[in-house]
Amino acid sequence: MPQDLPLTVKDAAAALRAGSVSSVQLTEGFLKRISALNEYLGAFVAVTGESALTAAEAADSDFAAGMDRGPLQGIPLAVKDIIATEDAPTTANSRVLDPEWGKGVDAPVVARLRAAGSVVLGKATTSEFAIGLPDSEKGFPIPRNPWNVDHTPAGSSSGTGIAVAAALALGGLGTDTGGSVRGPAAHNGHTGLKVTFGRVPKNGVAPLGYTLDSVGPMARSAYDCAVMLEVMAGYDSGDPYAARVPVPKYSDLLTGDVEGLRIGVPMPYFYDSPEVTDEVRTAVFAAIDTLKGAGADAHAVVVPYAEQAKNANHITLVSEAYAYHRNNMVNRWNDYGRYTRRSLVRGAFLTAADYTQAQRFRAFFRRALAELFTSYDVLITPTWPSPAPRSDEMTPEKQLRNVSFTGPWNLAGLPAVAVPCGFSSSTLPLSMQIIGKPFAEGSVLKVADAYQRLTDWHLKVPPVPISVAA
């Protein structure tokens, strides 16, 4: 556990207002941990220490002048390196992206965080263009799971997930097209929210799947994600997909009360798949029992055509990704990482008919889920079928064959939060996923927060070798 550094945004915000710590002290503390651990963990591709300290000084000056911009003022955060920031280049961890892309500009979601007084520590590593497995030949940091560096931290928001779990930042931004916020949250042991499609503007973000992408908060707790989302969410005219839906004060909705909550537990596919380990199944059922003990009601349900939804999400994702990358794939094939090009090129083998049929199914699936949600407030599934696998066992082909408990909700555009719920026998994090109705982020965060008031899995910090941390 890091000495003298708060673990949560909530605790840091309280300490800042009590005067027991300054934003400069917080920022210096996290920069020191990054300096000691980043080579070991590969969380950041670029650290913006000078501008971070300048922002921290400004936050402290505002506090001294009696100006309080809200709970993110003075809070150090990480930003995934496919999201534009004015103080660092955006590379998408690739040799392909034009160096001028996003240069000197903050994406709206980053601008909103800065306006709220946040401190940006730097750009966090990502899978190349949010799709490829790490390729050591391309010269970018290789992200490693802080609980066991031989295991994957998951992608694509790997660096932000590592930074939060290993206490290198209090929170950060990820993006999610098929599970890229929730996978790292699950594998690294913290909270990560995939928002409703259109809830957070994504202009200034390098695209993967135009009709699937979302930008979401990653932090240690549901409360921390809630206060981040209050700032991040809302319409922006620069994003043609941004929704004109009012933004509630999510943190006010976190009452801890789940009395009478109706939980659907979709057994087929999500629990009975042979890929689901006994440890994962047991941990998620125990988490549901905890919520039932707090007054919630849970029943087995069926999510129809879940496997087809996973496949339709993949067809949509690779088709839209290939559309964005097609010219560069032709002209700069070898500049892409070897795993990235193997994933992207699948789009060349899909037809217009494949894509169209996937969208027809998508409409059907959304209607089926809307009907299910007339009887239930949330659904709960495992986030991932197993603890984090070894990195040397992962291939794009294996990922394609695996079940996905995250992709169906991208296809439907629904909010879903990954929440730590235990550890495996090999001390790797386990995670449950809470899914809600469109724009019901408040509901899924409320359930996650209620669970976290009764447990402390989200407060666990991975040990690091003394020789590294010293």
Residues with a catalytic annotation lie at 80, 156, 180
DSSP 217-273: EEESSHHHHHHHHHHH-S--TT-TT--------GGGG--S--TT-EEEEE-TTTTTS
The phi, psi pair for 218, rounded to 5°, reads -125, 125
Q: Are 359 and 413 in contact (CB under 8 A)?
A: no
Q: What is the CA radius of gyration of the chain?
A: 20
* CA distance to 365, 379, 438, per residue, from 441 (Å): 20, 13, 8
The residues pairing with 420 across neighbouring beta strands, listed in sequence order, are: 431
The phi, psi pair for 422, rounded to 5°, reads 150, -170
SS3 194: strand
Buried b (16+ CB within 10 A) or exposed e, 214-231: bbbbbbbbbbbbbbbbbb
Neighbours of 290 (CB within 10 A): 16
Q: Are strands 297-301 and 416-423 parallel, antiparallel or unpaired?
A: unpaired
